[in-house]
Amino acid sequence: MTKIYVWSIFTRLFHILLVLAVLIVFVIADFENLLSYHAVVGYMIGLLFVFRLIWGFMNVRYSRFKDFNFNIKDLLEYMLGIFGSKKEYTGHNPASSWAIIAMIVLGLASVVSGVIVYGTQEGMGVLSFLNISLFKDMDMFEDIHELFANAFMAVIFIHIAGVVIDKLLHKSKAVESMIDGYKNGDEKDSLKLTLWQKLFGVLWIGSSIFLLVYLLSTPSNILTSDNNRAVDYRVEHSLFYDECISCHTLYPPHLLPEKSWITMMDDLQNHFGDDASLDAIDTNSIKEYLVKNSAENSTREASFKILKSMDANITLAITEMPYWKKRHKEIDKSLFKQKNIGNISNCKACHKNIEQGLLNDKDIKIPQG
């Protein structure tokens, strides 16, 4: 027995890039303002897996799917022998064979479902047009994405646990082999790549890195671009714009339901402690505009979730909406008392584009000090 070449440089680079990419998307998944970066790295993971899928059907020894061991009997024997003596495999053992296929399937499913969520819920990316027709199903798509993503991560953790156990109990060299590419075996079984395979490998790794760099450096790209329309309220309804922005932040009509706007406009003389009365014609004009563009008539994520969270009570203040409270419950209340914010209703302190009707997660900037 001697050291032979088993894992090509391309397989190893794929493995390294995948580990780093998955770690990044996992860590930033819960940070709403990093959603665009989550999407960018997700696309890279998808491309890595697409190329790995093709690589698996090419005649690359040890990496091709036909060399994988999917025999259930061998899998059980391998798993049961984890704490005793076990058979050594030059390429993939039965457990890793199943794990790799599961990761490819679940990884691609996570990426595809993520793209759908990005389009239906955020109105962003290549499937942003789905927001108009499928926005009411955004929660369902998000649940499906999380199901695939959690299953993907579970397989990864199981795979890592298996490698660690194998290392501790059997002094396995699996980790080292994925770094230098060599394992023990017969010299005649050493991997040799053809020119075409090398060129494909360069395309595989090179295009994956290029995609990441391109998406990060070009925010207007078709895959992650923001397709939500900014609204010029001054042009769309100058009376609404002038009357509201003269006293406070201009709140987009889609942040309140019809009943709230009607109740508010019918009692302007008691407008949050002030008398904001207008003549009947102006009042009706603004009220009609607000009702026409209320949460019920919007496909925005905030509108949909505000309506979904509502109870029988009519709430006039956006900051009293159940959905608003849920989204902001983790924020230290002292933050709202900072001089550069002033009060809890100063939404534009963190949502810089709110007065253009935009509340994108990626645009959230929380002031410091």
Tell me the per-residue pLDDT of 227-239, one tens digit each, with 9 for 90 and over. 999 999 999 999 9
> pTM for this structure?
0.88
- Cα separation, 347 vs 328, in Å, equals 11
- Cα separation, 118 vs 276, in Å, equals 40
Answer whether residue 222 is part of any domain. no
Answer whether residue 359 is part of any domain. yes
- Cα separation, 328 vs 333, in Å, equals 9
Walk along the chain (369 residues) and give the pLDDT tens digit of each residue: 688 999 999 999 999 999 999 999 999 998 888 999 999 999 999 999 999 999 999 999 999 999 999 999 999 888 887 777 667 788 888 999 999 999 999 999 999 999 999 999 999 999 999 999 999 999 999 999 999 999 999 999 999 988 888 777 767 777 888 889 898 888 888 999 999 999 999 999 999 999 999 999 998 899 999 999 999 999 999 999 999 998 888 999 999 999 999 999 999 999 988 999 999 999 999 999 999 999 999 999 999 999 999 887 888 899 899 999 998 888 888 888 888 888 888 898 889 999 999 988 888 888 876
Residues 6+ apart with CB under 8 A from 250: 233, 241, 244, 354, 355
Q: Are residues 30 and 112 in the same domain?
A: yes
Domain encompassing residue 350: 233-363
Q: Are residues 36 and 161 in the same domain?
A: yes
Answer whether residue 228 is part of any domain. no
Looking at the 3D structure of the chain, how many domains does it have? 2
Answer whether residue 127 is part of any domain. yes
Domain endpoint, select from 159, 186, 217: 217
Q: Are residues 195 and 293 in the same domain?
A: no
Q: Are residues 156 and 76 in the same domain?
A: yes
Residue 95, sorted as left (phi over 0), alpha (psi -120 to 50) or beta, turns out to be alpha
Q: Are residues 205 and 254 in the same domain?
A: no
